[in-house]
Amino acid sequence: MSKPAIVIIAYNRERSLKRLLDSVAAADYPDEEITLVISVDRAKDGSGEATRKLAEDFSWEHGKKQLILHDENLGLKKHVLSCGDLSREYGSVILLEDDLYVSPAFYLFAKEALAFAGQDDRIGGISLYNHLLNVHVREPFAAIHTPYDNWYFQFASSWGQAITDTQWKGFRTWLEIHDNTELAAKDVPGNVSSWSDRSWLKYYIKYLIETDRFFLYPSVSYTTNFGDEGTHASEAVNDLQVPLSGRREKDLPFSFAKISGTRSVYDAFFENLPLKRVMAGELKEITGEDVAEKDVTIDLYGYRADGADTRYLLSSRALPKKILKSYARQLRPLDENIFADLKGKDFFLYDLKSAGQKPRVEKARRILYDHRALRAGQLFTVALYRLKKKF
């Protein structure tokens, strides 16, 4: 089994870097030599000496420590790519940006996940972060729970990720052709394609979509994101904070599902892909005709573009199309309502080729489902806060 190097990507955030280094130092590791690399980008204004000194002074007790102190400002995209390129030297790397914080078991999970992923070419990388927020619509998200320690997502991770040399090489080869090209397409979420060209992540996500690969995600997070002020954020935010896995026995193995062996598989829109197969079977019963999975679009969050390339659409949106069946929004997570065939009037299975009466959608019920309970005073406070931030 490989020994991934830990690569920390730092800029001009001394407090953030110290917090991350403290959590890395307190984590559990196998009894073997582990390399720690701290790569510090040069600040544009020439500041950042305190950050560099912190990296130099940090004591690493588990193996070799390597410092990379850049003389010129690379910018986040080039900096991350250069750190990913270290996978060629070490065979695999764990990349940690400086506003993260790690679980005591982050290395144990990453090491076993990398070994498992190396057996499947469709796995394009490992995430150490577990999403609990659909970043496209800013609504709660949860992947369906299974007996395994993982799920799959066609969405690369920048909040703690592990990659093998082979996985990184596949992305870098693709990027040589597609770097700085237009990413807007129906299979790419508009939120992703609109990200700045300084983002390396949006290209990795497009690579996964185009090559039909997935990131392996943990069922419980091994990193959390403080969202500190930096290149892509004007101020610190807390909406990306997630609960961390605690300590575990070093010899306790993880259990990983294959992509073909779990229903917890999601596309880049946070939509469950195995639901397409379920809906195809449901449509055959309704219409009496064979329906292919490619003829069904899943849109539980109501985020996809208005026009679907398929004839059938399962969506939370109210459309003037023929409704073949409807489902409730009661079980958690969202997709469990469809798997359980729970009747209701929150999700609608449309035949887009036939006109119909537009259904009435209770928006308040959706909000209360997401947030469970909100008092009137809380709603006013949040609305006022958002207005202040906007203007």
Helix, strand, coil percentages (3-state) for the chain, rounded to 5, are: 30, 20, 45
pLDDT grade, residue 105 (50/70/90)? very high
- Say whether both 236 and 356 belong to one domain: no
Domain membership flag for residue 155: yes
Tell me which H or E stretch contains 208: helix 201-211
Residue 303, classed as helix, strand or coil, is coil
Domain membership flag for residue 374: no
Per the prediction, the chain carries an average pLDDT of 93
- Say whether both 75 and 176 belong to one domain: yes
Residue in the structure block whose two tokens are 């150490």: 128
- Say whether both 206 and 72 belong to one domain: yes
The model's pLDDT over 63-76, given as tens digits with 9 standing for 90+, comes to 999 999 999 999 99
374: pLDDT strictly greater than 80 = no
Residue 282, classed as helix, strand or coil, is helix
% residues pLDDT > 70 (the chain) = 96
Domain membership flag for residue 373: no
What is residue 368's predicted lDDT score, i.e. its pLDDT? Answer: 85
Which amino acid, residue 236? A
- Segment 234-252 shows an average pLDDT of 85
Residue 279, classed as helix, strand or coil, is helix
118: pLDDT strictly greater than 50 = yes
- Segment 158-177 shows an average pLDDT of 97
Determine if the pTM surpasses 0.85: yes
Cα atoms in the 13 Å half-sphere on the side-chain side of 346: 21
Is 384 buried (19+), middle (13-18) or exposed (0-12) by CB count in 10 A? exposed
For residues 134 and 267, the answer to whether their CB atoms sit within 8 Å is no
What is residue 29's predicted lDDT score, i.e. its pLDDT? Answer: 97
Residue with the larger pLDDT of the pair 137 and 234: 137
Is 359 buried (19+), middle (13-18) or exposed (0-12) by CB count in 10 A? middle
- Say whether both 225 and 354 belong to one domain: no
Cα–Cα dist 152/139, whole Å: 19
The model's pLDDT over 223-234, given as tens digits with 9 standing for 90+, comes to 999 986 654 455
Look at residues 266, 294, 329 and tell me which one is the last residue of a structural domain: 266
- Segment 14-20 shows an average pLDDT of 96
CATH number at residue 233: 3.90.550.10
- Say whether both 140 and 199 belong to one domain: yes
Q: Is 359 left (phi over 0), alpha (psi -120 to 50) or beta?
A: beta
Tokens at 249, concatenated: 């026995």
The model's pLDDT over 308-355, given as tens digits with 9 standing for 90+, comes to 689 999 999 999 999 999 999 999 999 999 999 999 999 999 999 999
Domain membership flag for residue 211: yes
379: pLDDT strictly greater than 80 = no
What is the count of structural domains for the chain?
2
- Say whether both 232 and 278 belong to one domain: no
- Among 59-63, 95-99, 237-241, 262-266, the minimum mean pLDDT is found in 237-241
Range of the domain at 290: 274-360
- Angle at alpha carbon of residue 211, lines to 185 and 277, rounded to 5°: 80
Domain membership flag for residue 391: no
Domain membership flag for residue 376: no
Tokens at 331, concatenated: 């079980």
The model's pLDDT over 180-193, given as tens digits with 9 standing for 90+, comes to 898 988 899 999 99
How many residues are listed for the chain in this entry?
391
- Say whether both 75 and 223 belong to one domain: yes
373: pLDDT strictly greater than 90 = no
Is 381 buried (19+), middle (13-18) or exposed (0-12) by CB count in 10 A? exposed
For residues 104 and 246, the answer to whether their CB atoms sit within 8 Å is yes
Computed from CA positions of residues 81, 83, 89, 93, in that sequence, does the dihedral angle turn out positive or negative?
negative
Task: Assess whether the previous peptide bond of 333 is cis (omega < 30° from 0).
Answer: yes
Domain membership flag for residue 289: yes
pLDDT grade, residue 8 (50/70/90)? very high
What is residue 232's predicted lDDT score, i.e. its pLDDT? Answer: 47
CA distances from 34 to 9, 108, 134, 389 (A): 17, 12, 34, 44
Domain membership flag for residue 382: no
57: pLDDT strictly greater than 90 = yes
Tell me which H or E stretch contains 163: strand 161-164
